[in-house]
Amino acid sequence: MQLRLLTLVCVTTGVAAFAAETDPKDVTYDDYGAIEVSLTGVTGDAANGALIVGDKSKGNCVACHAVSNLADIPFHGEVGPMLDGAGDRWTEAELRGLVANAKMTFEGTVMPAFYKDDGYIRPGDAYTGKAPTAPLTSILTAQEIEDVVVFLATLKEE
């Protein structure tokens, strides 16, 4: 009985630890900006990722990138590369790094860091008179990053 209870506790604790989100400050990028390990330990949802890519209040990736699979969303951008074929061009680790913080791969990019919550320069009260004082949060959650990565990985060359 005690062995069963101990096994159950170990399994339950292991699952909880595996599913914990990685804090933006604790993300490990390789030399080329890729993130090898999932930020959540939970597989992303491609359908939700597609919604985030097209949602103007979330990822809004289509503001800068064209995505043929999301042709029903108006006004695709041309600033960034077309995302068709992203799943063939980049690995999931590379996609995760690009979505989390593309500046780790492309230093001068204008693409925002979607999973970063520090190191920002705020204009301050002298500019707006309304500068927030609360800590900034990342644009997307760790799970939303994983969802976008899985969606992008489905975009293959025709």
Per the domain annotation, does 65 fall within a domain?
A: yes
pLDDT at 18 over 60: no
pLDDT at 50 over 90: yes
Domain count, the chain: 1
- 136: confidence class by pLDDT, cuts 50, 70, 90: confident
Among 41-55, 75-89, 101-115, 128-142, the range scoring the smallest mean pLDDT is 128-142
Per the domain annotation, does 129 fall within a domain?
A: no
Question: What's the mean per-residue pLDDT of the chain?
Answer: 87
pLDDT at 16 over 60: no
pLDDT at 86 over 70: yes
Per the domain annotation, does 59 fall within a domain?
A: yes
Could you tell me if 70 and 141 are in contact, meaning their C-beta atoms sit under 8 angstroms apart? no
Average pLDDT over residues 61-72: 96
Its pTM stands at 0.83
Q: Name the residue range of residue 150's domain.
A: 35-116+138-158
Could you tell me if 34 and 99 are in contact, meaning their C-beta atoms sit under 8 angstroms apart? no
pLDDT at 51 over 80: yes
Per the domain annotation, does 74 fall within a domain?
A: yes
Per the domain annotation, does 14 fall within a domain?
A: no
Higher pLDDT, 148 or 127: 148
Per the domain annotation, does 63 fall within a domain?
A: yes
pLDDT at 127 over 60: yes
Share of the chain above pLDDT 70, in %: 84
Segment 87-124, tens digit of pLDDT: 999 999 999 999 999 999 999 999 999 999 988 776 66
DSSP-derived secondary structure for 111-128: ---SS--S-PPP--HHHH
Looking up tokens 């595996």 gives 18
Which CATH number goes with the domain that contains 72? Answer: 1.10.760.10
Per the domain annotation, does 130 fall within a domain?
A: no
Per the domain annotation, does 85 fall within a domain?
A: yes
CA distances from 36 to 33, 52, 56, 58, 131 (A): 10, 22, 28, 24, 36
